């Protein structure tokens, strides 16, 4: 098929996620390698966001691809009740890189499914209903995971597909502190409020957090926040679930973001980078204490594709590649460079309110007024399908051959961990130029 035919068929027959279906005009991708991909016209693009913050190893890692092919020629599928060598090898490899307390695994095929399992497990273990989440969060699109999602994607389906029991906590978002306070004199009130919530709510099974918030702004907590949340949840006998679907696998310069603060959750969920996104795999990891709760009690969860061998063989290969290429340290080192360059760029653009991030995971927040910190657009604009300034910026970048995710009023800069300095510099030069479109729309200070 030529590119026009591919586009026509896909557009006329498929749903596309999180948008109005009319007016969708998808780019036809025909090839991808390393930090780049190509369209049907042969045009090359630098991937400055790892597609959806997923292709941490870059596109088409040969070792991962070989593991998929070899497994397909062997045991391509086995029901979850069977053991396979791929399952054993993946489990051994995971134990070597996950926080030491997390050594029991449930495998699925996405981050959404990983969170769905974690929420069901937590409620079953504690025999309680409620879960504390946060407003600037995204945890998935299935019934329980969308119910604990704080952002606007929850709203259209709340009456249709909602699991009751979510209680939302404030975010550790210093740029827009929900209490109007300033760190460190705030006493990390956003964490202390959770202590008050747990004391007053009752019936809380778990708290779920993205250690570094993903799509909703790459929000990095202050150093005291996660350790304090861990202490508070323990004091109230509440399980802590760390959603590391985006922040895991070297993205923030650690195997997992919780490692940055020495926090040990009761459950950890992840996906995306676990196979470099070359095949779908989700993981719900728990402590042995959580697993033991089901030793003599029915485990109420499962999937046909749970522990699918074709997904597990590339997980072990991916872990070996992270090590061989020393990508955890590279992410940490390049992350310092990335944030430094972004802050230099920000100084030249009145439309940039804040640059923040950790490792190769950064956000550029756009504002129409630096003094008031008013954003160009809001979640309501996104939900209503109104034109967004951030889309003008990302559109200009695409025209210049650089793909970057924009969300409501910020850009997510999260290239593959294998990105070269030359590629990174090129992407940032294009970003620098595109930000002029936002600058033109800044409110006059007069």
Q: Is 119 exposed, middle or buried (0-12, 13-18, 19+ CB in 10 A)?
A: buried
| H/E element, 411 | strand 410-413
pLDDT value for 107: 98
**Under a CB-based contact definition with an 8 Å cutoff, are residues 265 and 258 in contact?**
yes
How much is the average pLDDT of 37-47?
Answer: 98
Strands of the sheet with 44-47, listed across from one edge: 29-33, 36-39, 44-47, 402-403
E-strand stretches of 51-180: 104-108, 130-134, 166-169
**Under a CB-based contact definition with an 8 Å cutoff, are residues 148 and 129 in contact?**
no
**Under a CB-based contact definition with an 8 Å cutoff, are residues 190 and 171 in contact?**
yes
Assigned CATH topology for domain 62-324: 3.40.640
- For residue 176, what are the CA distances in angstroms to 61, 144, 278? 39, 28, 36
How much is the average pLDDT of 262-278?
Answer: 98
pLDDT value for 161: 79
Question: Angle CA(260)–CA(262)–CA(265) in degrees, nearest 5?
Answer: 105
pLDDT value for 409: 97
pLDDT digits (tens, 9 = 90+) for 99-122: 999 999 999 999 999 999 999 999
Residue 332 tokens, joined: 């940490």
| CA-based torsion, 142, 148, 154, 160: positive or negative | positive
- CA distance linking residue 118 with residue 270, whole number of Å: 11
- CA distance linking residue 173 with residue 229, whole number of Å: 15
What confidence tier does 159 reach under pLDDT thresholds 50, 70, 90?
A: confident
Count the residues in the chain: 446
- CA distance linking residue 191 with residue 208, whole number of Å: 13
- CA distance linking residue 67 with residue 79, whole number of Å: 20
What confidence tier does 70 reach under pLDDT thresholds 50, 70, 90?
A: very high
User: For a pLDDT cut of 70, what percent of the chain falls above it?
Assistant: 100
What confidence tier does 184 reach under pLDDT thresholds 50, 70, 90?
A: very high
Query: Considering all CA atoms of the chain, what is the largest pairwise distance in Å, rounded to the nearest integer?
Result: 70
Tell the residue number behind the tokens 């190893």, with chain if given.
57
Beta-ladder partners of 44: 38
What confidence tier does 444 reach under pLDDT thresholds 50, 70, 90?
A: confident
- Of residues 60, 52, 39, 51, the one with CA closest to residue 399: 39
pLDDT digits (tens, 9 = 90+) for 90-105: 999 999 999 999 999 9
- For residue 115, what are the CA distances in angstroms to 100, 143, 265, 357? 20, 10, 14, 24
* pLDDT for 446 beyond 90: no
SS3 43: coil
Segments of the chain assigned to CATH 3.40.640.10: 62-324
State the pTM of this model: 0.97
How much is the average pLDDT of 377-400?
Answer: 96
- CA distance linking residue 318 with residue 324, whole number of Å: 10
- What DSSP letter does each residue of 267-296 carry, written as one string? EEEE-GGGTTTSS--EEEEE-HHHHHTTSS
- For residue 179, what are the CA distances in angstroms to 159, 193, 209, 230? 29, 10, 19, 21
* pLDDT for 364 beyond 90: yes
* C-alpha 274 chain-centroid distance: 12
CATH (residue range 3-57+326-439) = 3.90.1150.10
Segments of the chain assigned to CATH 3.90.1150.10: 3-57+326-439
pLDDT value for 158: 83
- CA distance linking residue 171 with residue 217, whole number of Å: 11
Q: What is the mean pLDDT of the chain?
A: 97
pLDDT value for 445: 61
Instruction: List, in order, residues 6 or more apart from 110 with CB less than 8 Å away.
Output: 140, 271, 280, 282
């Amino acid at each position: 098929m030529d590119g026009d035919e591919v586009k026509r068929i896909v557009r006329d027959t498929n749903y596309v996620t999180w948008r109005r279906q009319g007016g969708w005009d998808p780019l036809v991708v025909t090839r991808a390698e390393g930090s780049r991909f190509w369209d049907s016209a042969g045009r090359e693009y630098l991937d400055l966001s790892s597609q959806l913050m997923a292709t941490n190893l870059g596109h088409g890692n040969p070792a991962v691809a070989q593991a998929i092919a070899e497994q397909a020629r062997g045991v391509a599928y086995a029901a979850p009740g069977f053991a396979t060598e791929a399952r054993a090898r993946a489990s051994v490899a995971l134990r070597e890189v996950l926080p030491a307390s997390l050594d029991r695994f449930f495998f699925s095929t996405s981050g959404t499914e990983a969170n769905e399992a974690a929420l069901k497990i937590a409620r079953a273990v504690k025999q309680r209903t409620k879960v504390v989440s946060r407003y600037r969060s995204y945890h998935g699109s299935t019934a329980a995971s969308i119910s604990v999602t704080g952002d606007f994607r929850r709203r259209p389906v709340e009456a249709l597909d909602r699991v009751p029991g979510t209680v939302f906590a404030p975010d550790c978002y210093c740029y827009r502190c929900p209490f109007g306070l300033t760190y460190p004199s705030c006493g990390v009130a956003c964490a202390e409020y959770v202590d008050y919530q747990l004391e007053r709510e009752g019936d809380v099974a778990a708290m779920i957090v993205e250690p570094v918030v993903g799509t909703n702004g790459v929000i990095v907590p202050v150093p005291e926040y996660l350790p304090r949340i861990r202490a508070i949840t323990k004091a109230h006998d509440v399980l802590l679930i760390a959603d590391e679907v985006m922040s895991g696998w070297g993205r923030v310069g650690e195997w997992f973001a919780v490692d940055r603060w020495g926090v040990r959750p009761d459950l950890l969920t992840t996906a995306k980078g676990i196979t470099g996104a070359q095949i779908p795999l989700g993981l719900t990891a728990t402590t042995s204490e959580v697993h033991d709760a089901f030793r003599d009690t029915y485990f109420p969860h499962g999937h046909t594709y749970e522990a699918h061998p074709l997904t597990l063989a590339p997980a072990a290969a991916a872990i070996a590649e992270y090590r061989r290429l020393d990508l955890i340290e590279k992410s940490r080192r390049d992350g310092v460079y990335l944030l430094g360059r972004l802050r230099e760029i920000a100084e030249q653009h009145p439309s940039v309110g804040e640059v923040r991030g950790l490792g190769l995971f950064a956000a550029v927040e756009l504002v129409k007024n630096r003094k008031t910190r008013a954003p160009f657009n809001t979640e309501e604009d996104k939900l209503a399908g109104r034109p967004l300034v951030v889309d003008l910026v990302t559109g200009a970048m695409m025209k210049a051959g650089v793909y970057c995710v924009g969300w409501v009023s910020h850009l997510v800069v999260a290239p593959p961990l294998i990105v070269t300095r030359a590629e990174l510099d090129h992407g940032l030069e294009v970003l620098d130029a595109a930000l002029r479109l936002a600058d033109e729309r800044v409110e006059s200070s007069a």
